[in-house]
Amino acid sequence: ATTYFADGARVVESPTLISGTWRDFLPGVQPGVLAVSELNPLVGRAHT
């Protein structure tokens, strides 16, 4: 499966059990920071 996040998307401050296994998909990423990891790299930026 492929998942895309909007540029600037952040992991919620308090992930819950319902959030699933987000650490498996965003290794090394902490709550509150950008949702970018080696498994989910930034692939483009929005034009401003």
- Give the pLDDT confidence score for residue 8 in this predicted structure: 86
Which tokens is 6 given?
A: 């909007």
pTM for the full predicted model: 0.64
Domain residue ranges in the chain: 1-41
Residue 34's DSSP bridge partners are 10
Q: Which long-range contacts (CB under 8 A, 24 or more apart) does 33-39 make?
A: 34/8, 34/9, 34/10, 35/5, 35/9, 35/10, 35/11
Asked if 34 and 8 touch (Cβ cutoff 8 Å), the reply is: yes
Quick: pLDDT tens for 12-48. 888 777 677 888 888 899 999 998 888 888 777 666 6
